[in-house]
Every structure is written in structure tokens, then in C-alpha cells.
Structure 1
């Protein structure tokens, strides 16, 4: 059988060298983007698929887009079969004409490299390019994203089509940027191909240098798993018992490194031929460390579909906050426009919600806003994913709302572009720590994403901006920093946290943090590893409450507040730290649950459970008040979200009414309404799902 030959091919020297070349910079981070102004103006538009429509539609499409204020489209990301209909024969004429038509109407193009959907001739002639499932069966090629990052053959064809595109459009002034591939790891989050097996072994050899080092750091003496040959190491296929935690974490790192290296392949080509264009990628999915992944990009793009959540206000805000932190620059490449679905169908946005959710993204740092899609597809897997226009091409309510949004962003976008979301509160987000919990999930209530949602919601409710930052981030600009569920600790990170506290910061560490080293292994060090001096506590014991855990115990604080436990109830032994919270019941009653320790100019707080919303609310309220952090706006109804962006002494205050009733906000004096251009009244009433963006010039005192 043809598939059997794929699983056990002869490993020739040429093939091994090809694979080694493909992973040559897996851990290097690739070609770093430089902040040279490649992306400098606010972009508004749509995702456009000229290949799916008669050419007779294009001129009217471009005219209508121009009427709506569109200045940018993304196109091309699924057009490989048209661009290279036969191996080595390129034809970009359809896209040439589409880009020219759009350009006549003042609309620029972000070109999506088409490698997310390989043509049939490629997957049938070279079936080794296909992703392989854990079962050993190759992915069927009748969809998208069915390729393997580590296939040397696929990498070669990907480079060829991207280089052909870059050469063909080398001097095209209508193209301003490139989206590399599309939604990497959306569907292909793990691959078990022979190419990946070979690449994984090579990656491990680069990391550990010797089997002795790998055996020691993985602890393979357990269960008699010691390796004596690199060929004995396999991908983590299903086994009867459990895999080594070191193997599982390194497999996640390998997946991320593979995706990053694949992206860097294309980035290097595009930088060579189109050095003035900006580069981006879109979507956030499992098994990618986006801080490393984003290094070659000028900004990161989120695909923003709030209706995947029943109540999306806070979860969407948290995701926007996360993505903003990847590279410091963000745009929206796909924004929800109407009903959305494939085999499923999500709810329809209510009138006004499309504009509201778009402006929420701008409020949290987006420098561009492209809606998915221009016209609803009549065929294919996304025919239920509605666009600005319905299937019959008739402009209706969504078109009018989109046009209103375009007119408004023509005024707001140029003002806020380059303005930053300035925060005094941050939470450290460690993708590797999240991967630990992906495998060792401990209980079904352990949910890393939910922790960041809770922290965002608590900060937003209390009218503070918050950032989510990498473990390597500079923390000196923050006053209050959370370190939630940071299971992995190393000397460098511990030193960075210590310096933050020494220099005057307040650091809050949750339970189940600093318990292992970067090999996902426990150590002989007392927990919290490397931080016992800073927090002046030692972990004594822990109880793991099973779901639902909230009713099983509570932390009772010295100010009379009580917060329900979330999964872990840790008992800490204070060295010199002051106990500020005790366990309220069970056999743990009155034992230390939370502590406070002055250290240098700052303070370290140990919180002996995982953060839930109650905990996030309490801790932010307590320590923001202690540090006298100033809320963004003191007087606003709960249904109104308040966010602020700032640049060059100017603040932009965003007021977003997420409620289905009018809301009155008392903003005071000194604001200008960006839409009207007039001074804003001290009291504003927002219609349901409406917003205001107000400009305020900082005084000399405020700028200090």
C-alpha cells in the first residue's frame, strides 16, 4: 500500500540533510522584524476573494468598498491552485487584475501567501507532504491546512510559490503588506509524520547534545525508559500508560519551533524582495509560543469572532490584551460581520454589535480593522459565514452598519494610530507553563485561559488597563504584576521577578507556581523555587479539591473578606512573611493561606490557591488602593467598558456600551468627541451597543 511506504521510508542521507536544513533555525527566532515604520496608517477593509466571483462583480465591489471607506483588502491566501495550476507553471493574472481594479479605487492589498491550502497536484504527486494523525493515517487533502511543517518537499514548494509571488509583485505599489500563510495550528496542531519524527530527533540532539544529558533531564530511569540510541526516541503516540512529562513539554516546544521556522522561511523571502512591506500572521491557536513566533513580524493580527462566546465582552477583551502583547503592535485581520458557521452556526450580532466589537478591538490597541468577509460565499465550507453583503449581493443592514463604521474610523483611526494602551497592572503569560497543564491537567477545573479572562475582567470592572506579557518582558513600567500558575521557574526569571520587587513593584504569585524547573521536573529546591527569599515563605502542603471546588474551602483575609478556593488549597510556612489570609474550614482551618512580605522597595504576595474571578477582584482592589492607582474613569455604569490609549501627551478614552439599554457616563470636562470634533458634554448618554471616543490633552501634572 502506498501509505505504508510513507510510514517507514528508507532514510537516505539526502533526505536527512534536507530535514536538517529545514529545522536549521528552529530555536533561533529567525529574522527579526525591525520597527522602521512599515506599518504607519490605520487600515480599514475586508477580506476579499475575487477568485470566487465573476470578474464582472469586481468593479462594483471596489466602488461599494470605496463608498464604505475601505482602504485595504486581504486576498490570495487560498488561491494556490490558481496561482500554480501545474507544477512550476505560475499564473497570477487573475490577482493582477483584481489588485489593479481595487487600486483604481484607492484600495491597497495585503497579500496572503497561499500555503495554507496546497493544490491537488501537489498532495497527490507528493503525498509525503500531508500531516499525519496520531493514528498513523495521513490527513485527507479535501480541506485546508493538511500539510506538515517539517516536510522538506512541502517547504520547498512553499518557498517556491512565495518567491514567485514576491518576484512577480516586486514593484507593485498597490501591495503594502503580506499575511504569511493563514491561521497556523488552527487545524494541524500536532503532526506524527515521518518528517516530524526525524526533525524531532534532530531538534532534541541540538538541544541536549548527548543522550546522557537527555536521559538525565527527562529522568528516563523512571519506568526503564533510558535511551541508548537517538532512533529509539519517538513522537508521543498513544501508549498504554502515561508519557514522560519532559517528553511531552519538549514535543510542544518542537511544534512551536517548527511552526516558527516555517513562518521564518517565508518572512526571509518577502523581506528580500519587498523590504518596505509589513509582515503579519493571523489567529491564535494551541501549541505556539507567540512571543517567539512574532519576532519576524511587524505586527500580529487577531481573527476576532466574539460570538464563539455567549457573553463575549470580557473574554474578547482578554484575547485582545493577549495578542497586543505578542509584538506590541496589533491589527484585526478577520472581524465578525454577521452570522458565522461551518457545520455549526453562531448567533447573529444584534444591530450595533458589529461596530461595538470592532471599536472594542481598536480600544485595546488594534491599528487596523478588516472584516471577514466582503460577500457571503455561495459554495464551500464557509457558505454559512456571512459577510458585509448577502449571497444575493444586495446591500442590507450589515452593509449600512459597515459603512457607518468605515465613516467613523476615517475620523478615529488616524487619530489613534500609534497610541498605546498604557497599563500599571500586568500578568505574566508563559506559554510553556500552559503546555504543562495541557498534559498534566490535574483536575478539569484547571484552565489557564480562564485565569487571564478573570484577571482582565477584574481589572476592567475596576477601570484599570492591564497587559499580558511574556516571562522575558521588562516589568519596570508596572506597579502590580500577577504571576499566575507559573509552574516552571528558572534562575533568570526568578532574578527578574526579584528585581521587580526590589525596585518597588508588588508581585502576586499564585498556587502551583515555581514548582518545577524548565525540564518540567521537580527539584531538590524548596518551593517556590528560587523565590523563597523574596516571598519569605515555604510551601508546606497542598490539598487538591475536586470539581466543583469553590464550596470546599475559602481564604479568609485579615480585612474580613472571604474568597472561595479554586482547585488548590496550599498551606505555606512563613519565614518572616506576614499572614494576611487563612483557610476557613476543613482540616486546614486557620492555617496560613496567603502572605505578604516587604522586599527591597516593594512587596511580594503569595496567594495559596489558583486565581478565579473572586480572587482577581479582591487582590486588584486591595493592592490598587494601597498603591493609589488611579482608575481610568471613576463614574461609569457596569455595562460600559472604559479603556484608554495614549501618545505624545494625548489620551483617547473609549466608552463602550455593551448593554441593550442606554447608559449615561459622567466624564467631566476637558474632552473632545472625535466623531463630532466638538467639546464633549460632562455627561454623555450612550445608546445600546454604541460608543464614544474622547480626546483629552494631558496637563503638565498628568504627564509627570
Structure 2
């Protein structure tokens, strides 16, 4: 079973913070010192409890190699401390200064096409570079030596958003590091040849020196090699994080160390966050709405649930999100009135110990000058500022929930290695998107008002009555055994198509599809039959009901499973489309085509019945009801994303914390508002 709990203290919290964290990235170096006093005064007015400082300040802190200028940072930290504001202090290693690259141009990363990036942005890092590693250790040591005992220090913030925008470098230094990583990981050259299937296309290697990174080739390269390179790149970034973390632990004991994740943005898929969650003392996350016309609050809930799961269920911290519009999407609309508060408190409902933003004061210069901030260009006479102040008061009123944990109903399996493998070239259909399946299944569960934990495929699943597998192309034999044990023990499993196909080396499991999941599902798949763009198929089910699928069909053969829905047209007409397999004390469902979130309701309704999960039909659509529980009590969050007032049933009477009103029976949640009830029970 995979261990997915953090390595640090399970409830590590920023030192000296007695309330929920509220604030944002603070970049005083972008402003004259005359502005700093005003900043701190306004922070107090807004209810700010913590700010992140120094994340992109390397050039100012170390203007030349080994020459440090800490005076300005001393004054900033003292000013914040005098005003009772805690500090999340960054190591600025995401953006090395110009002097570093002038001395070490080979530390700039190289693309798979052989192009070396230039200085002038951020995150241009070859993580195998010895010069970069030496410089990182030097600046982290200098910061820890100077500020370990500063009374404002609450948290160490290493680097920034590892893997963004560059995760993998393909230079010769990385090639040498990759060969060493392969020796350590596989043990021998023969094991590498076996894992990569190098008998194919005459790719067999006679020595480690013959192996290079998966650079650009005339046609598709070796997928197992590409998958291992994703693992290698992730390992190099994690190794550099550990270097800084260990320095900070040694020189600044007792202060938690974190780095900000980006767990659920599909653009940021280069890290195995199950592994990273074991390295940090406190899991933190950045989340930004993808405004592409979909229900953005659903993706937000998914990000929060996934981050909490990476934290092993422990409290975590939202370290960045936006007060309003961002600046890096094709179109960047402002948030609607009240949306900032709903976004923030939805994260808190799902386990965050606060709500932090990028950034405090909106920049006048640079690439992010149109990214919203707590204090916008419009100043304090603005809607964003007034909403930020109101939110600060609300977050302050929720201090008592600190340390409680979000209560989940079901689990969704998630594995970054499977995602990486699925995204490689030459798969049966480019229209099948593993992330889209995860989003859609999550949306279907969200609309059933079920709170989700995410879990590794080899984790203990016995606590969950229902486990959903949206896309698990890569499934180890251990994962297959784990799911069979789960179902035999009484669990209910729902699996989507093209799962269980390959092992950890992207080799197809022996025998018919779906490989590692054949036994638990009670079926085989003779052949995948993806659909052409725009094609659809019809499914017939109980009592003549019909569903529409697209993208994918399969030739399914029952091997103990029963057919629940059948194809009525297409190449698979007359064959099973959705099956149900009773195994031991439990049940496993299989869905062999792509259904949208609404159509999945027809599958999840009977699956939930199998799992003993009662329907929650009394809760309106787009109204979240989430519980946090702990020694402090039981708390119910109700978040109304609709434009109408709603009433929701309460399991017990209690006190609403934001209005201090008593509540019992049915709680009224105004349009676009949030209510948090401390239940009496």
C-alpha cells in the first residue's frame, strides 16, 4: 500500500498564528519605503494575519555572488512584526538573478529540440545544474542564519510553484544525471532495457553512456523512456527542495517548511504530489479559476479536495488565489460580487486553514501588473478592497475551526504517473483525456452533494463505501489486488474505460484488457473502438432508458459481470456498455464509453445505492454543504453559488458564526452567500 501521508508533523501550522491565515504575497521591494507604512496600516484594516515575503527577491538579497543586502528585508520584517502580522518567508530560488546566469549560462534549461532558454522570465532552471544547486544552498543558508530567530517568522516558503513553467531540461548535464538516476532506480542496464522494451525498433542499449534524454526524434520515441524522464525530472526538483528544506530544518528548527503546490491545474501536471506531500511539513496550494465557460466553483472544490488528500486529510493552507481576474488566460474576466468570499470559504470548508492571495498590492510594472490584488490599482475606494475587508472579518470569525478536518463521503482514485503515461503519444484516441474524465466524474459526484477524498490506487480504501476510478490507464498489479480486496470486503467500485491497461513501465498487462482490473470487473475487452470526432452512440438501459456516449466504445465480454446498459448502435451494437459485477461482499461497475456528468447520474445512482449512500435530493444544485469536525466541534459550511436564496436542512441546531444568529431546522443561505454553523450536537 502506498503511503500518502506527509512526512512532517501531521498538523504542522505556521508558528505563532492563532487565527486562520489571511493575507497574500507581499512584494515591498517593488515600492518605495514610504509606501510600506501605509501597506501595514491597510493590512491591519483588512484583517491580514500573515503575508508571504521575499519569494522573488534573490537579485536584491544577493546582488553579487556571496554579497548580501538584508537591510531592507530586516526593516520589512520588523515593521510587520510590530503590527502583529506573521511572515511566510520565501527562499527566492525560483528566479536566479542575471549575474548568476552570466556566470553559469549552462544553468539555463534546454528544450527537447535543443534550444536553450534565455534569461528574462522566471523558472528558467536546470535542476541538475551543480552551479544552481550550490547557489540555492548558499542563499537558503544565508536567509536561515539571519532570520531563524526573527519573531515574525511563521513559515518557510521554499522556491515557488515547482515545475512552472519548466519542469524538464534536456541538456548534457541532465543526460548524465538521468543515467545516474536510471542506475539507482533500475539497478542495471539489463533492467532498463527490459523496462523500456528496447527490443522494439532496435533501441537496445549496450551501455549507460548510450542513453540520452528523450529529445526530439523523427517520429514517436520510446514511451517508457519518456515516462521515466518525467519521473526523473520530478525527482530532481524534489531533490533540490529537500536540500533547502534540510538546511532550514537544521538552522531554523521548529519552523515548518513548505512549498506551494498547484495540484489541480492541468497545466501543472509535472509533479507527483503524493510524493511531494510526504516531503513538506505543511501542504500548501495555489489555485486559480480557469474561466472557460464551465462551472468554475466545481473545479475549485476539486482542487481543494485533492490538496487535502495530498495532505493525508490533515489541515492544509491555500497560499495563493485571486481576488478577481488573473492576467495569463486568453480572456480574464473579473469575479462577480461576492465570488471572492465564496471561493475563499469553499477552500476553508474543504480543509484550508485560511485564504491567502496573490498578491497584496497590485504591481505597476512587470508581467503581472494586470493580475488582481487585495489592494488594486483603484485603491481603497473600490469593490475589490471593500470585499477583501469584509472577507477578512469573516475569516477572523472562523478562528475556532482551526485544526478540524473535512469529512469526506467517497473516494476518487488519482495517480500522476498514470496521467503522465496516458498523455504520451500514439494512444488509441487523442479525444480521450484522462483529466477530462476526472473532472467529469468529480462534477457528477459534486452534483450528488458528495464530498470527495482523492486516493492513490494502492492506498487503504476500506473507509470509503464508494470508490470511483475515472481514468487509470497505468495500474500496477498491486493496485489491481488492492481494488479486488476492497470490493470483496464490501466496497462499491465504479471504473471508467481504458483503465488497468499497462503496468508501471507502460507495458501492456499480459492477456486481454483491462489487465490489472479484469478480475475485479468480471469482464474482458476484446478491442477498443474509439469513435471519430463528432460521432455518438446510444445506450439502452433499464426500463427502456437511453443515454448518449461519445469518444470511445469497446467490445466487452462478460466474465461474471452482468450487463446493465447495452450499445444499440455503432460497431459495438448489442454488446455490453455498462456492467455490474458482484464480487465477495461488494460490487464493481464498469463504464465503457464516455458519458457526460449528467448521464453519469444514471450509473452513480444505483452505484450509490449499492454503497448504501442515501440520496441528498433536498439540496439544491450548486449549493455546497461540507462538514469539518474535530475537538473544537462539528461545523457545517453551506455555500450558495446560485442567484436565489435557498433553505437547507440542518442535522442539529447551532450558531451561525458569520452572523452570530441561532439556526435550527432549515438554514436560509442568501443568494451568493456563505453560512457556517457550529452544530450543538
Is TM more than 0.5 here? yes
**Counterpart-to-counterpart distance in 2, 1:46 and 1:649:** 27
**Counterpart-to-counterpart distance in 1, 2:357 and 2:45:** 15
| More displaced stretch, 613-622 vs 498-507 | 613-622
**Counterpart-to-counterpart distance in 1, 2:115 and 2:665:** 65
**Taking structure 1 as reference, are residues 131 and 627 closer, same or farther at Cα in structure 2, changes over 3 Å only?**
same
| More displaced stretch, 652-661 vs 348-357 | 652-661
**Counterpart-to-counterpart distance in 2, 1:619 and 1:260:** 40
Partner residue in 2 for 1:4: none
Shift of 1:667: 4.1
One of 212, 215, 222 as aligned partner of 1:234: 212
Partner residue in 2 for 1:696: 679
Q: How does 1:431-470 map to 2 (within 5 A)?
A: 431-440=416-425, 441-470=427-456
Partner residue in 2 for 1:291: 274
Residues 167-188 of structure 1, C-alpha deviations (whole Å, 9 max, x = no match): 1112112111011101111110
- After TM superposition, the score normalised by the length of structure 1 is 0.90
Shift of 1:155: 0.7
**Taking structure 1 as reference, are residues 245 and 615 closer, same or farther at Cα in structure 2, changes over 3 Å only?**
farther
Is 1:564 matched with 2:548?
Answer: yes
**Counterpart-to-counterpart distance in 2, 1:510 and 1:452:** 10
**Counterpart-to-counterpart distance in 2, 1:321 and 1:29:** 14
Is 1:314 matched with 2:287?
Answer: no
**Taking structure 1 as reference, are residues 649 and 543 closer, same or farther at Cα in structure 2, changes over 3 Å only?**
farther
Q: How does 1:221-370 map to 2 (within 5 A)?
A: 221-284=199-262, 285-306=268-289, 308-310=291-293, 311-328=295-312, 329-342=315-328, 346-370=332-356
Shift of 1:35: 2.5
**Counterpart-to-counterpart distance in 1, 2:651 and 2:477:** 48
Partner residue in 2 for 1:85: 63
- After TM superposition, the score normalised by the length of structure 2 is 0.93
Shift of 1:242: 1.0
Shift of 1:355: 1.1
Is 1:620 matched with 2:604?
Answer: yes
Q: How does 1:392-431 map to 2 (within 5 A)?
A: 393-412=379-398, 414-431=399-416
Residues 284-340 of structure 1, C-alpha deviations (whole Å, 9 max, x = no match): 212211110221112322222225443312122222222221123421111211332
Partner residue in 1 for 2:503: 517
CA contact (8 A) 1:540 1:573 kept: yes
**Counterpart-to-counterpart distance in 1, 2:679 and 2:183:** 56
Consecutive unaligned residues of structure 1, counting only runs of 5 or more, are 1-26, 699-704
**Counterpart-to-counterpart distance in 1, 2:486 and 2:162:** 35
**Counterpart-to-counterpart distance in 1, 2:256 and 2:459:** 24
**Counterpart-to-counterpart distance in 1, 2:546 and 2:351:** 35
Residues 525-568 of structure 1, C-alpha deviations (whole Å, 9 max, x = no match): 3333244333222222221112234x2x1333335443322422
Shift of 1:362: 1.1
**Taking structure 1 as reference, are residues 498 and 31 closer, same or farther at Cα in structure 2, changes over 3 Å only?**
closer
| More displaced stretch, 613-622 vs 451-460 | 613-622
**Taking structure 1 as reference, are residues 330 and 438 closer, same or farther at Cα in structure 2, changes over 3 Å only?**
same
Residues 491-523 of structure 1, C-alpha deviations (whole Å, 9 max, x = no match): 221221122112211112221111111110113
Partner residue in 1 for 2:265: none
CA contact (8 A) 1:563 1:614 kept: no
**Taking structure 1 as reference, are residues 29 and 470 closer, same or farther at Cα in structure 2, changes over 3 Å only?**
closer
Residues 368-391 of structure 1, C-alpha deviations (whole Å, 9 max, x = no match): 211221111111111111212233
Shift of 1:150: 0.9
**Counterpart-to-counterpart distance in 1, 2:555 and 2:331:** 47
Partner residue in 2 for 1:10: none
Partner residue in 2 for 1:17: none
| SS in structure 2 of the partner of residue 565 of structure 1 | strand
CA contact (8 A) 2:440 2:596 kept: yes
Shift of 1:473: 2.2
One of 470, 492, 516 as aligned partner of 1:484: 470
CA contact (8 A) 1:117 1:145 kept: yes
**Taking structure 1 as reference, are residues 581 and 164 closer, same or farther at Cα in structure 2, changes over 3 Å only?**
same
Residues 425-467 of structure 1, C-alpha deviations (whole Å, 9 max, x = no match): 1110011111112113543322222222212221121111112
Partner residue in 2 for 1:588: 572
Residues 30-76 of structure 1, C-alpha deviations (whole Å, 9 max, x = no match): 99323364447521112111111111111221121112111100010
CA contact (8 A) 1:656 1:690 kept: yes
| More displaced stretch, 38-47 vs 172-181 | 38-47
Shift of 1:681: 5.1
Partner residue in 1 for 2:102: 124
CA contact (8 A) 2:4 2:310 kept: no
| SS in structure 2 of the partner of residue 406 of structure 1 | helix
| SS in structure 2 of the partner of residue 88 of structure 1 | coil
Q: How does 1:574-613 map to 2 (within 5 A)?
A: 574-610=558-594, 612-613=596-597
**Counterpart-to-counterpart distance in 1, 2:106 and 2:613:** 57
CA contact (8 A) 2:444 2:597 kept: yes
CA contact (8 A) 1:484 1:610 kept: no
Is 1:187 matched with 2:171?
Answer: no
CA contact (8 A) 2:413 2:468 kept: yes
CA contact (8 A) 2:12 2:282 kept: no
Partner residue in 1 for 2:8: 33
Q: How does 1:377-396 map to 2 (within 5 A)?
A: 377-391=363-377, 393-396=379-382
Shift of 1:82: 0.9
Consecutive unaligned residues of structure 2, counting only runs of 5 or more, are 263-267
One of 207, 210, 214 as aligned partner of 2:188: 210
One of 162, 167, 180 as aligned partner of 2:140: 162
CA contact (8 A) 2:529 2:554 kept: yes
**Taking structure 1 as reference, are residues 150 and 395 closer, same or farther at Cα in structure 2, changes over 3 Å only?**
farther
| SS in structure 1 of the partner of residue 553 of structure 2 | strand
Partner residue in 1 for 2:525: 539
| SS in structure 2 of the partner of residue 242 of structure 1 | coil
**Counterpart-to-counterpart distance in 2, 1:618 and 1:366:** 33
**Taking structure 1 as reference, are residues 364 and 65 closer, same or farther at Cα in structure 2, changes over 3 Å only?**
same
| More displaced stretch, 352-361 vs 468-477 | 468-477
**Taking structure 1 as reference, are residues 167 and 243 closer, same or farther at Cα in structure 2, changes over 3 Å only?**
same
One of 449, 460, 465 as aligned partner of 1:474: 460
One of 361, 364, 367 as aligned partner of 1:375: 361
Residues 143-195 of structure 1, C-alpha deviations (whole Å, 9 max, x = no match): 11111111111011001101111111121121110111011111103211222
**Counterpart-to-counterpart distance in 2, 1:205 and 1:563:** 51
**Taking structure 1 as reference, are residues 652 and 442 closer, same or farther at Cα in structure 2, changes over 3 Å only?**
farther
Q: How does 1:660-671 map to 2 (within 5 A)?
A: 660-667=643-650, 670-671=653-654
The CA RMSD over aligned residues, in Å, is 2.3
Residues 469-494 of structure 1, C-alpha deviations (whole Å, 9 max, x = no match): 22232211101101222112222212
CA contact (8 A) 1:556 1:581 kept: yes
